[in-house]
Amino acid sequence: MGQEIDLREGDFANHVKKALAYLRSGYIIVAPLENSYVFLVDAFLHDGVRAMHVLRGDDLGVAAQVLVSSTKVLDGIAREVSDDARKLMAAFWPGPLSFYLAPHLGLNWDLGDDKELDEICVRIPSAKFVLAVLKKSGPLAVASAARAGQPPIYEVGDISALDSDLAAIFNAGELAPGKATTVIRAGSAGIELVREGEISFEALLAVVPEIEREAIG
């Protein structure tokens, strides 16, 4: 399953450099996020994103999430970021809070939905290695290293992939399970909670009292 690199040993900066080289060449890598291993690929390389979806067994039309390193980078891909959304970003980024936002229309990418959804799910992670890579790579498409519909992967030995599927696996050892990210939708209709996860609804309310839970049905 590609070259395995132990993040607990060796030079951290060199590990970041290797990850960047693979990503810029359009390859998929595995890296540790806060609570699970994920696939990462350059968000603007269509073939790489498509290969990641195939590797996971995603249904057609499923869009990959996007990771960025800063709100400055976010402003380059999202056309509408409300004041309330920025308040929540300032309070909880880097961290387990994801936002559904409207992307700039001219972006030359396809996250898996053929740009039909007019919506991206984006966040700044707190995971040290991935954040260091993001600061040099630009936006990355991300998906769980598990097959679609399966539980998260906490150890790299549990990843099901062929040698040819992955360029490298960056191993940080066994990861501790945790709650999923909290997900917010911030659009023209206001701001609402889509999924409550690591960050509670009460914590969000303390920052933006106007936030509501997404209506179901």
Q: What is the pLDDT along the chain (217 residues), one digit of tens a residue?
A: 578 999 999 999 999 999 999 999 999 999 999 999 999 999 999 999 999 999 999 999 999 999 999 999 999 999 989 999 999 999 999 999 999 999 998 899 999 998 888 999 999 999 999 999 999 999 999 999 999 999 999 999 999 887 679 999 999 999 999 999 999 999 877 899 999 999 999 999 999 999 999 876 4
| Residue 73 confidence (pLDDT) | 97
Q: Does domain 3-213 have CATH number 3.90.870.10?
A: yes
User: What's the confidence (pLDDT) of residue 1?
Assistant: 54
To the nearest 10 degrees (0 to 180), the angle between helices 12-24 and 128-137 is 50
Tokens of 149: 């519909």
Task: Tell me how far the alpha carbon of residue 180 is from its chain's centroid.
Answer: 12
As a whole number of angstroms, the distance between CA 70 and CA 192 comes to 22
Other CB atoms within 10 A of residue 80 CB: 12
Provide the pLDDT for residue 161: 84
Beta bridge partners of 190: 187
DSSP-derived secondary structure for the chain? --EEEETTSS-HHHHHHHHHHHHHTT--EEEE-SSSEEEEEETT-HHHHHHHHHHHTPPTTPPPEEE-S-HHHHHTTEEE--HHHHHHHHHH-SSSEEEEEEEPTT----SSSTT-S--EEEE----HHHHHHHHHH--EEEEESSPTTSPPP-SGGG----TTT-SEEEE--SPPP-PPPEEEEEETTEEEEEE--SS-HHHHHHH-TT-EEPP--
Contact 140, 132 (CB under 8 A): no
State the pLDDT at residue 85: 97
Give the Cβ contact number of residue 71 at 10 Å.
15
Q: Residue 216: what pLDDT?
A: 63
d(CA 148, CA 178): 19
